[in-house]
């Protein structure tokens, strides 16, 4: 029996479910400004209404005595809010975990709320820091060596490393992008101080070579400050280390006078989030605690020999080359032999006019059909939103190096590059095998699930391509757009940073029985790796379980929206990291809901891939006997990992979901979002009289909406049904809550953000539906962060 890593969890706040995924750092110290303080500032600042909205947030921070820089601005037009994200600076240098979220009324420039984690040292402390650190800083390369050593990497990073220095002076005055009135037009990004080029030999980890890239990697290194748990300000090297299965953002102590015994890595976030599961059934210990002990291993899928048998000979793909990736083979349910080969020039559509739209047709398990056990594949069309994807799913011109042609006939587009990755490689995804839909963009590839997954890898890629695009389009109409940090190669002139479409690998050979998603800051590719599962015979493919794909993509949504798209460290560990997992499960469960379902229905996660056993402790259910989860569970040793915490958060949201559906009904048209009716002019213009039904792909007539008042954002009585349906309303409020909540939120913070979103959208008419769901699971009025239950309701909800 393996020892539980209890000590590591206590010391590092690590998720022990996977020894490679380490996350720790100083605890958040949220300060929420009182309405009285905000009102006093507004009264003293008569000119605030003439300032740009980011400048209002900067002025308020200055009013409180803090120097800050704007890292991003995001809008919620249906709430009349602009979310301004700030980072505190000292002598122009970022204090990496001293951030703030200001929610400002767009129409009036009035501050609605302001929550910060600022460092509050005295001026004498600053002078001591200046004098001490002028000559006492560690160079970046030995600091990176120390990080590698503490992480357990086998080879020293300095072996053959090259370091290039940016001309900016260290810890000197730096110019930040000026705050602008129009959100997202000049996104925050600063050139690193150094770039360290590491040879592949330097990143071969103790966990095995499959975890590391096969070639040199570049590690950006930027000198910043970190506020510690002792409220000290420490200079740190901010490293971004992409090892493939892990994408570490490390903050390493840069003080040169610390001894070798001193632990230098002070904070660590892994931008890769995994859908970790325990294949073994849970066991109860003597105290009735649920204990999971299995640690998932990573192995190459089928090994090198199997790869050679499947692939045969092939040569490196260059423009114009024919890359033979499959031998000729007979496929069941197909009337002729088909040779799968990808010619890069042939993958370019004959339709060169970028303004024209070619609708694709895809034979997939569509949104609403979670997996092969829930329904059949159907031929569906894409895109699902002409606002989110106005040029279709196969147009791509944001990154000329990766997609030099405008239109493609393979699974490439502005939102996602989908391909097989059977060999598990980190590099070379651009020229991997992709199915070709020809000029008509018809992707109809047969599947025989009685065979091994590699025999239907083309169909898996198509399914993965469809789901990534469908989720992109769906969440766009709920507010995950370009300025908010969504994943697109070209942002179409709508703000934010482009060049960050999702790199989605089907049947990735770097692991099995899992899936993961990497979310670096806006402007860098999201990366999804889907694996096969060896629990059944034959093995099953996670690419055919939509809930797993949705869970992984949700990491990108929640990470980019919490704390702003420039900050990928807000859901790193603790309760915040747990909710990062929980939002994924909630979105996955809600979107597979049948239109005729009742609150008695129960759902597992990963049931198909894992052979019916599921990958969570309990099914999601409103029945306390089926799922006994309450907030205090997060204190249990078995719940120290982020995935276990996430199960509790998802169950709480599931309760709230059913309160909304029971009250307001179910709308089968998930694209009929509140945002598309209130506030977003672009989405309003796109409203048509029809929509595509998820599970069948059929075109349905959209029902006309009758609003009970002239103001769409409010309802006259609490018992009036919300015109769009309870499911779309609660999904909108959960997404809005992500934008409203602070960086590193607790369960209580996230609950309050959803309640605030409801108050802004529907005037508090539905707040008791939210409170009753939260209170049933221990997150009532008196709940205290850290897992202290309260089942109390507000008086008005009794």
Please name which of 224, 232, 250 lies closest in space to residue 171, comparing C-alpha atoms: 224
Q: How many CA atoms lie within 13 A of 517 on its CB side?
A: 25
Catalytic residue of the set 552, 655, 693, 758: 552
Question: Residue 117 in contact with residue 98, Cβ under 8 Å?
Answer: yes
Q: Could you write out the three-class secondary structure of 319-349?
A: CCCEEECCCCECCCCCCCCECCEEECCCCEC
Count Cβ atoms within 10 A of the Cβ of residue 384 and give its class: 0-12 exposed, 13-18 middle, 19 or more buried: buried
376 token code pair: 């059949």
> Rounded to an integer, what distance in angstroms lies between the CA atom of residue 707 and that of residue 715?
8
Q: Is 293 assigned a catalytic role? A: no
- DSSP element (H, E) containing 435: none
C-alpha radius of gyration, the chain, whole number: 26
Three-class secondary structure of residue 236 per DSSP: strand
Q: 555 labelled as ligand-binding?
A: yes
Q: DSSP secondary structure string, 348-398?
A: B-S---TTS---EEEEE--TT--STTT---EEEEE-S-TTTSTT-SSB--S
**Alpha-carbon span 683 to 385, nearest angstrom:** 9
Q: How far apart are CA 610 and CA 625, in angstroms?
A: 23
Q: Pairing between strand 416-420 and 290-291?
A: unpaired
Helix (H, G, I), strand (E, B) or coil at 736: helix
Q: Does the annotation list 83 as a binding residue?
A: no
Cα–Cα distance for residue pair 367/505, rounded to 1 Å? 19
Helical segments of 227-324, H only: 303-311
Is 581 one of the annotated binding-site residues?
yes
- 461's CB contacts (< 8 A; 6+ apart) are 411, 418, 419, 420, 433, 434, 435, 506, 543
In angstroms, rounded to a whole number, what is the distance separating the alpha carbons of residues 751 and 741? 9
**8 A C-beta contact, residue 264 and residue 252:** yes
Annotated binding-site positions:
551, 555, 581
The residues annotated with a catalytic role in the active site are 552
Annotated binding-site positions for Zn(2+):
551, 555, 581
């Amino acid at each position: 029996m393996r020892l539980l890593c209890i000590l590591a969890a206590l010391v590092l706040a690590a998720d022990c479910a996977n020894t490679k995924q380490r996350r720790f750092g100083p605890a958040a110290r949220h300060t929420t400004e009182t309405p009285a303080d905000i009102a006093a500032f507004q009264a003293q600042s008569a000119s605030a209404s003439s300032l740009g909205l980011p400048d209002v947030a900067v002025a308020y921070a200055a009013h409180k005595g803090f120097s800050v820089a704007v890292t991003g601005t995001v809008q919620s037009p249906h709430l009349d809010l602009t979310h301004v994200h700030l980072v505190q600076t000292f002598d122009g240098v970022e204090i990496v975990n001293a951030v703030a979220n200001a929610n400002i009324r767009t129409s009036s420039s009035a501050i609605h709320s302001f929550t910060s984690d600022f460092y509050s040292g005295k001026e004498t402390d600053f002078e001591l820091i200046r004098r001490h650190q002028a000559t006492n800083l560690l160079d970046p390369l030995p600091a990176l060596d120390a990080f590698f050593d503490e992480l357990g990497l086998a080879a020293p990073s300095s072996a053959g490393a090259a370091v290039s220095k940016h001309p900016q002076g260290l810890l000197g005055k730096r110019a930040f992008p000026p705050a602008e009135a129009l959100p997202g037009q000049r996104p925050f990004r600063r050139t690193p101080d150094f770039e360290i080029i590491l040879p592949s030999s330097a990143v071969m980890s103790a966990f095995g070579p499959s975890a590391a890239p096969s070639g040199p990697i570049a590690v950006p290194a930027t000198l910043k400050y970190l506020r510690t748990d002792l409220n000290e300000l420490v200079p740190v090297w901010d490293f971004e280390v992409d090892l493939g299965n892990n994408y570490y953002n490390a903050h390493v102590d840069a003080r040169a006078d610390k001894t070798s015994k001193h632990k230098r890595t002070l904070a660590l976030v892994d931008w890769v989030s995994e859908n970790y599961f325990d294949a073994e059934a849970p066991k109860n210990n003597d105290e009735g605690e649920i204990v999971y002990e299995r640690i998932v291993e990573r192995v190459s899928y089928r090994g090198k020999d199997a790869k050679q048998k499947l692939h045969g000979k092939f040569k490196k793909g260059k423009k114009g080359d024919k890359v033979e990736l499959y031998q000729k083979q007979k496929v069941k349910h197909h009337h002729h032999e088909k040779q799968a080969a990808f010619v890069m020039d042939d993958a370019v559509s004959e339709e060169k006019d970028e303004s024209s739209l070619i609708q694709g047709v895809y034979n997939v398990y569509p949104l609403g059909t979670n997996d092969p056990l829930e329904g059949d594949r159907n031929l569906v069309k894409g895109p699902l939103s002409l606002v989110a994807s106005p040029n279709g799913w196969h147009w791509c011109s944001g990154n000329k190096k990766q997609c030099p042609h405008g239109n493609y006939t393979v699974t490439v587009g502005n939102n996602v590059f989908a391909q097989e990755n059977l060999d598990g490689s980190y590099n070379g995804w651009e020229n991997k095998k992709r199915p070709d839909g020809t000029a008509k963009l018809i992707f109809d590839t047969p599947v025989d699930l009685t065979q091994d997954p590699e025999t239907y890898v083309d169909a898996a890629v198509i399914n993965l391509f469809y789901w990534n695009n469908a989720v992109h389009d769906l969440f766009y109409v709920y507010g995950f757009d370009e300025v908010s940090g969504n994943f697109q190669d070209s942002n179409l002139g709508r703000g934010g940073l482009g060049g960050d479409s999702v790199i989605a690998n089907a049947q990735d050979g770097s692991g099995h029985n899992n899936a993961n998603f990497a979310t670096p800051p806006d402007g860098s590719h999201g990366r999804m790796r889907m694996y096969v599962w060896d629990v059944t015979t034959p093995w099953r493919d996670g690419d055919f379980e939509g809930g797993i794909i949705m869970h992984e993509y949700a990491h990108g949504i929640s990470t980019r929206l919490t704390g702003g798209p420039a900050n990928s460290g807000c859901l790193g560990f603790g309760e915040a990291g747990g909710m990062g997992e929980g939002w994924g499960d909630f979105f996955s469960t809600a979107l597979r809901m049948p239109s005729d379902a009742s609150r008695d229905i129960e759902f597992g996660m990963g049931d198909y891939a894992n052979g019916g056993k599921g990958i969570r402790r309990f099914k999601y259910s409103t029945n306390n006997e089926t799922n006994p989860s309450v907030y205090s569970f997060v204190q249990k040793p078995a719940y120290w990992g982020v995935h276990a915490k996430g199960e509790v958060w998802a169950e709480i949201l599931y309760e709230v979901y059913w309160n909304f559906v029971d009250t307001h009904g179910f709308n089968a048209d998930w694209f009929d979002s509140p945002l598309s009716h209130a506030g977003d002019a672009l989405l309003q213009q796109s409203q048509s009289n029809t929509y595509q039904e998820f599970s069948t792909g059929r075109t349905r007539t959209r029902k006309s909406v009758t609003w009970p008042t002239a103001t769409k954002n409010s309802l006259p009585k609490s018992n009036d049904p919300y015109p769009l349906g309870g499911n779309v309303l609660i999904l909108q409020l959960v997404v809005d809550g992500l934008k409203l909540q602070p960086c590193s939120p607790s369960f209580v913070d996230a609950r309050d953000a959803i309640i605030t979103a409801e108050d802004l959208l529907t005037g508090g008419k539905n707040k008791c539906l939210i409170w009753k769901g939260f209170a049933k699971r221990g997150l009532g009025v008196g709940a205290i962060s850290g897992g202290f239950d309260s089942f109390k309701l507000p008086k008005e909800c009794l």
